[in-house]
Amino acid sequence: DSGVTQTPKHLITATGQRVTLRCSPRSGDLSVYWYQQSLDQGLQFLIQYYNGEERAKGNILERFSAQQFPDLHSELNLSSLELGDSALYFCASNLAGGDTDTQYFGPGTRLTVL
Amino acid sequence: GESVGLHLPTLSVQEGDNSIINCAYSNSASDYFIWYKQESGKGPQFIIDIRSNMDKRQGQRVTVLLNKTVKHLSLQIAATQPGDSAVYFCAENIGGNKLVFGAGTILRVKS
């Protein structure tokens, strides 16, 4: 158990809908990362937050957004969902968000878009 | 340098044998590399890391080797056990707090 928690574990929704995925980092960690893992693209970095502020952006679609709250939990919002958004979404955290800080991953949320 | 795929290579080893999983990375400027293990239904789990100023690092039953000349990373697992069966990913930090993951290798341990 990494100490990173994610809810929900599974989510099934329809195309065009909007969902919110939640992540609580390890106790004391200030930085949160979001990743998407799909069958055809592998594990892809989406976005990073550090202490409430966006720090780095990867392959995140404009339909997706995220935020980190004062209590350091983070939410990933996915809107106008398409079939291709079906994937595992992982959150990771580390203390300071530095390049050589190990990222610890949560158990993931499996999103199925029908 | 992005993970593309995804026909994952598979390594099958006999329990007790040593395993070597290889990875080619893309960015010669990357200075931090990590190996993760992912079991079915779980998130990636940190195994071992190495910085670019080193060429070898050892952990418990695992060793990571880094060859910057050919941009190659390997993970050696000693005395492989059934519990080591998983997908193994290498990841490189390309800067700006961005990790780029390899496509992964499936390790199957035969008892």
Q: Are B89 and B36 in contact (CB under 8 A)?
A: yes
A76: Cα within 13 Å, side-chain hemisphere? 31
Task: In whole angstroms, give the CA distance from residue B67 to residue A51.
Answer: 35
DSSP class of residue B73 equals: E
A43 → closest Cβ in B31, B93, B101:
B101
pLDDT digits over B73-90, tens only?
999 999 999 999 999 999
- Chosen for mutation from A7, A29, A95, A99 (greatest number of chain B CBs closer than 10 Å) is A99
Residue B94 φ/ψ, nearest 5 degrees: -90, 10
Identify the pLDDT of residue B5: 42
**A45 — contact with chain B (CB < 8 Å)?**
yes
Long-range contacts of residues A57-61, Cβ cutoff 8 Å, at least 24 apart: A58/B98, A59/B2, A60/A34
Weakly modelled stretches of chain A, pLDDT under 50 = none
Mean pLDDT for the stretch of residues B53-74: 96
Which one-letter amino acid corresponds to residue A20?
Answer: T
pLDDT tens, residue by residue, A47-72 = 999 999 999 999 899 999 999 999 99
Q: Do A48 and B97 touch (CB under 8 A)?
A: yes
Report the residue of B99, B100, B101, B106 to disrupt the A interface, i.e. the one with the largest count of A CBs within 10 Å.
Answer: B99
Span B89-104, pLDDT tens digits: 999 988 877 889 999 9
Distance, CA of A9 to CA of B88 (rounded, Å) = 22
- The span from the CA of B86 to the CA of B75, in Å, is 13
